[in-house]
Structure 1
Amino acid sequence: MRPARPLPEEDRQRLLHGAHHDPHALLGAHTVRGGVELRVLRPYARSVTVLAKGLRAELHEDGDGLFSGVLPLRKVPEYRLVVAYDGEEGIGSHEVEVHDPYRFLPALGELDLHLIGEGRHEELWKALGAQPMAHQGVTGTRFTVWAPNARGVRIAGDFNYWDGTGLPMRSLGSSGVWELFLPGVGEGTLYKFDITRPDGSHTLRADPMARRTEAPPATASVVTESHHVWHDENWMAHRGDRPVHESPFSVYEVHLPSWRPGLTYRQLAEQLPAYVKDLGFTHVEFMPVAEHPFGGSWGYQVTGFYAPTARLGTPDDFRHLVDSLHRAGVGVLMDWVPAHFPRDDWALAEFDGRPLYEHQDPARASHPDWGTLEFDYGRKEVRNFLVANAAYWCEEFHIDGLRVDAVASMLYLDYSRENGEWSPNEHGGRENLDAVAFLQEMNATVYRRCPGVVTIAEESTAWDGVTRATHHAGPGGFGGLGFGLKWNMGWMHDSLGYIEHEPVHRKFHHNEMTFSMVYAYSENYVLPISHDEVVHGKRALVDKMPGDWWQRRANHRAYLGFMWAHPGKQLLFMGQEFAQGAEWSEGHGPDWWLLDPSYAAEPDHRGVRDLVRDLNTLYARTPALWQRDTTPEGFSWVDGGAAEDNVFAFLRFDAHGSPLLAVSNFSPVVRHEYRLGVPPEPTAWTEVLNTDAERYGGGDVTNPDPLKPDDAPCHGRRHSIQLTLPPLATVWLRPA
């Protein structure tokens, strides 16, 4: 073997410093005059030998880990490398036989690159990141990363002692994508990208598309592949049979790491489905499960958008949890956080040395409330990253719905900003047109690709058309955002404000409980009592209530009865289903000991939980409570003006006109022979739920017998009934 021609010094230096855009042009095998030139970069190697059919030749050492030679062959053969290393401190040595990564063609196709360049790759997770595969007949992993500002990118991992010098990636043209296929690298491998910034400095970054990560505080990405076999075929086939806004939809919100602290995904799968099913909730909603470095953020500051948090297990373990819930007949929603990301210097912030995922304008990039960075929704590749991410969770993990966090902070350019701290859009308005377009694209894509999935907006303003179809323009000139449901933050704040007042003062705040019906049909609503309402000094739901312990529990039960009857879907945060008195803490989760039979007050808490179970059971069996949630024909006030009595009475109707009468008495006195106007059709009304029942911990003031309407006009109706209203209680009645 004769020596190869020396590398030009500029190419050599760029290669060694990780700043070469095309290392495959310098490394690997290439035909030259007189043979095949082979060059290898193996830092710390003592020698490199080429093995081919009928050939074994040791390459010349060129210094700095470079080895080369010209083989006396006419064409490039199939070959392998035998790389010899000295032992530690020069004692002993070892050899490894490997494929040369630089003999492989690109493992990413032209169509993938075209779609990435257009910002339209709806299965982006299959094109970028670490993908185990067989390529040119060899098993390994394809690594790809989008870093258009980088001068060079290398792969560092546990397989090369976190020194990426010997594994520079190639740039795939104007796409900004870098690629390298590493034979022999497979599942469980830890890796990061060593990026050479435009100024020549280096930064070691986790993979933005990593589908598995190390458990925090470790930050490496992990090569992974799914082996889970799904058993939820029936659920997936029928989850979209009925539109969600015309279906029962009762949600139990859970922070997985603290629901039962210490449980893994698989251990949760043994307990959570049975618990949620027993209480009758139709869905469970997970607070964010995507990987996040700081547990105290509850998952709302995400660094690994494509990876379930490793704190509780592997991605397949998370799939098992979702599968178990589906097999129990429980839908799975998850919080999704596309509004911002943290500034950690190993994650997305200035990923390739310049603003990439965040906006170029520092004023637009910096989130004023959370010290995080906002995404640049106007950049097509960033928008693609997020749109594909929404589809990814629904397709790869069978998620049934995405509750999108902090939508208002995305929609407004002046969100939490003072005058002079923001610039208007091209029309002179404060709307973030890029964010509007992103949300519309995300919703349209998810609904098209994932039948039966629902998207839910946490949107705290009066933005018009949050749940309107994207192709329907509204008064503001924008198309609808395309969400399926929206959290009713107005109802939540108003009703909690009312219930926190002493009963004697509630008459002055009566409209806070009725105002929601003014706008009840402007959107498709969810009524949320979420984690946000039971932390940071806001107190747990039962502790918001005035009065002694009996009155607080009675208020709590009456409020839940009112909430379940009100138009809109329901969401209740864990712990509130059994009247936990302490604020939630991610450190210890719900106070399950309150339900221990040895605890003296255990019946008080068990009674509230029994009520929640009965509320959900009756709700699911009563189409009047959910079938016409979004149309005015499904609701009618009987008496919305009884402020002096602290009483609210209304009717709900199903699609056939069958009614349910809900009456709430938020006063601590019994009201005997309370007259209410009712429709003429039923011959009698029967009490089907009373939150004052003894089994719930109440005083058992009930209406045990059917109530027959008489001809006494009341509330504008020709017929009426007289009933007993228990103190601080809600009563439901149906035709006998």
Structure 2
Amino acid sequence: MSAALIGDFNNWNPNANVMTRNEFGVWEVFLPNNADGSPAIPHGSRVKIRMDTPSGMKDSIPAWIKFSVQAPGEIPYNGMYYDPPEEDKYVFQHARPKKPQSLRIYEAHVGMSSTEPMINTYANFRDDVLPRIKKLGYNAVQIMAIQEHSYYASFGYHVTNFFAPSSRCGTPDDLKSLIDRAHELGLVVLMDIVHSHSSNNTLDGLNMFDGTDSQYFHSGSRGYHWMWDSRLFNYGHWEVLRFLLSNARWWLDEYKFDGFRFDGVTSMMYTHHGLQVAFTGNYNEYFGFATDVDAVVYLMLVNDLIHGLFPEAIAIGEDVSGMPTFCIPVKDGGVGFDYRLHMAIADKWIELLKKRDEDWQMGDIVHTLTNRRWSEKCVSYAESHDQALVGDKTIAFWLMDKDMYDFMALDRPSTPLIDRGIALHKMIRLITMSLGGEGYLNFMGNEFGHPEWIDFPRSDQYLPDGKFVPGNGNSFDKCRRRFDLVSFTSAYVTNSVCFIFLRKGMSDHGCPRLLEVVIVLGSDDIGDYDGLVGWKLGIVLLVL
């Protein structure tokens, strides 16, 4: 077995920079600077590792790569050596905000945060979305899909390059600028980090990195998650621990994230991954043969590292099992999270929305909202990104269904279904925020009852069993957030009179503001108003 570093810098010559294997089994190579002092690998160079494995020759992206890109027309990603000159590196201007006593989290996905059918950028999110989040009264933003993932429709959960921010939305410096701006606004920035599993992609991920299935993962069936179609880490390997612990510190140190929401913690802690298992509270369910002790130890280690280096950092765990000691500090024998994500609440609301109003039991609702361990802090939510995906329904859709399309405008009569839906939509969020825990989370757009579901662009495909799964023509139409629905301008012209209807977004309570009407006489060029160009205004008679 052999390995070599290849790339633009050595014309992809596998004999130029051959690697050696040290006493710990790690392949390494040292490249001194050039004679003129310039780095041996220029900034922006594409790099890969060529490995001669028992199963054949394989080119892989370095596991610790800081940035990876996909060239137009190419399927696999290429690792990119990202090390700009000192004078070009981003310098943070603003200190981290203090940890809020009560978290109010806005869950966001940068790529789908545009009103247009496109992949949005870190820069646009910084300029357009962050001010909206601040104005709505949130004190934290939780950003999804940061770690590079070759499959966009995975929502960022099938990670291929753990140390690299997604290049779809911009450069590492663009992401740093976004976080710096959030700190300027007083917003805590949490990262939705994925350490529970990895993409099974062999072209540009960790899977079969050295030609075997066990370098980072369990071998055989234990290393494969059948529901997620992904690989499962072996937390008993020292190099896996080193890799993941370093990864957590990297995002806190380099990008100034203020904490994490750990995805899929239940899957980590049990060998059955919480699938087809009903947790009743019996302690044998938590501390038995199904417990992955190595994974629990890793969670204790990473939480100890996070809070040891950054005492103000926040760690939220996504756990549905109710693991005891989950939010007890590591020094006291606990797993060490600050908050548990209260996942049962969203399921309860969906269950109730399928019933008649008169069948709702307030005692049942209050029990679900307050059912948590003594002194355990929880982040509650009525709905998150999970409920917004295609095939599911948001609360607004459950309440108002297709009436949302025809009877939500302010210039036409409402219906009893809409009136009831809006009232319950606000009440459900209010009671969840009030009783559900010490923190509250909302997925972007759901604060105003965003219509439609999320459907990532996808092509037609045939499954291994021959079943045909239709795509959506790779459309981005349902993979965006229609903020323009609560903040837009329209005009109606009759003869020489122009009526301009200004829908000016939402109040601080998340409700649509009253309609503002501008009547213009003598306009000879009907263009736009309030941010849209082209008006030759006549006389403004009335503003309501």
1:681-692 superposed matches below 5 A: none
SS at match of 2:64: coil
Q: Which has the higher contact order (CA 8 A, sep 6+)?
A: 2
The equivalent residue for 2:70 is 215
Structure 2 counterpart of 1:515, one-letter code? T
C-alpha contact 2:218 2:233 (8 A) present in aligned 1? no
Aligned to 1:187: 43
Deviation sequence 1:620-652 (CA, Å, 0-9, x none): xxxxxxxxxxxxxxxxxxxxxxxxxxxxxxxxx
SS at match of 1:257: coil
String of CA shifts for 1:523-571, please: whole Å, max 9, x gaps: 2100122100122322122112266112111111111221222233110
Aligned to 1:230: 92
Distance (whole Å) between structure 1 residues aligned to residue 121 and residue 50 of structure 2: 32
Task: Kindly indicate whether the alpha-carbon contact (under 8 Å) linking 2:111 and 2:120 is maintained by their aligned counterparts in 1.
Answer: yes
Report the Cα distance in structure 1 between the residues aligned to 2:445 and 2:368, rounded to whole angstroms. 28
Q: Contact (CA 8 Å) 2:327, 2:336: kept in 1 or not? A: yes
- Which of 271, 296, 301 is matched with 1:441 structurally? 301
**Match for residue 98 of structure 2?**
239
Q: Which residue of 2 aligns with 1:404?
A: 262
Q: Does 1:524 align with 2:377?
A: yes
8 A Cα contact 1:250 1:283, kept in partner: yes
> Separation in 2 of the partners of 1:277 and 1:385?
35
Residue matched to 1:268? 125
* Alignment match, 2:406: none
Q: Which residue of 1 aligns with 2:496?
A: none
The alignment partner of 2:344 has SS state of helix
- 8 Å contact from structure 2 (residues 490, 502) kept in 1: no
Report what 2:137 is aligned to.
Answer: 280
Classify 1:581/1:605 alpha carbon distance in 2 versus 1 (closer, same or farther; 3 Å). Answer: farther
CA distance in 2, matches of 1:593, 1:614: 18
Output the CA distance in 1 between the equivalents of 2:313 and 2:503.
34
> Which of 388, 392, 404 is residue 534 of structure 1 equivalent to?
388
Q: Which position in structure 2 is the counterpart of 1:578?
A: 448
CA distance in 2, matches of 1:163, 1:272: 45
Q: Percent identity?
A: 24
Root mean square deviation, CA, Å: 2.8
- 1:170·1:180 contact (CA, 8 Å) conserved in 2? no
CA distance in 2, matches of 1:524, 1:444: 18
1:322 matched to which residue of 2?
179
In the alignment, structure 1 residue 164 sits paired with structure 2 residue 34: no
Per the alignment, residue 591 of structure 1 pairs with 482
| Distance (Å, rounded) in 2 between the aligned partners of 1:471 and 1:219 | 42
Within-5 A mapping of 1:48-59:
none
1:177 alignment counterpart: 27
TM-score (norm 1): 0.57
* 8 Å CA contact 2:17, 2:29 repeated in 1: no
Q: Distance in 2 between matches of 1:205 and 1:696?
A: 57
Partner of 2:539: none
1:511 aligns with 364
**Partner deviation per Cα, 1:120-151 (whole Å, 9 max, x = no partner):** xxxxxxxxxxxxxxxxxxxxxxxxxxxxxxx2
The answer (yes or no) to whether the contact 1:455–1:484 under 8 Å persists in 2 is yes
Pairing 1:197–2:58 present: no
Unpaired runs of 5+ residues, structure 1, are 1-150, 473-478, 616-690, 698-736
Whether the 8 Å contact between 2:193 and 2:260 is mirrored in structure 1 is yes
CA distance in 1, matches of 2:320, 2:190: 20
1:706-728 deviation per Cα after TM superposition (whole angstroms, max 9, x unaligned) = xxxxxxxxxxxxxxxxxxxxxxx
Q: What's the counterpart of residue 51 of structure 1? A: none
> Aligned partners of 1:267, 1:351: CA distance in 2, in Å?
35
After TM superposition, where is structure 1 displaced by more than 6 Å over at least 4 residues in a row? 602-607
* Structure 1 or 2: more strand by fraction: 1
Taking a change above 3 Å as real, the CA distance of residues 352 and 276 of structure 1, as seen in their structure-2 partners, is same
Q: Quote the Cα distance in structure 1 between the aligned partners of 2:22 and 2:373.
A: 52
SS at match of 1:254: strand
Q: Normalized against structure 2, the TM-score is what? A: 0.76
Structure-to-structure mapping, 1:113-124, within 5 angstroms: none
Report the CA distance shift for 1:308/1:606 in structure 2 as closer, same or farther (over 3 A).
same
> Partner amino acid for 1:194?
R
Whether the 8 Å contact between 1:215 and 1:309 is mirrored in structure 2 is no
1:281-331 Cα deviation digits (max 9, x unpaired):
101111121100000001100011000011111111110111111111111
CA separation in 1, counterparts of 2:222 and 2:132?
Answer: 44
- Aligned mates of 2:389, 2:69 — CA distance in 1: 29
**In 1, are the aligned partners of 2:328 and 2:336 still within 8 Å (CA)?**
yes
- The match for 2:320 is 460
Does the CA contact (< 8 Å) of 2:315 and 2:337 recur in 1?
yes
* CA gap 1:416/1:408 in 2 versus in 1, 3 angstroms: closer
CA drift of 1:211 comes to 0.5
Matched, 1:385 2:240: no
1:181, CA displacement in angstroms?
Answer: 0.7
Report the structure number with the largest CA radius of gyration. 1
Partner amino acid, structure 2, of 1:192:
K
Q: Distance in 2 between matches of 1:554 and 1:189?
A: 56
Task: Count residues with an aligned counterpart.
Answer: 445
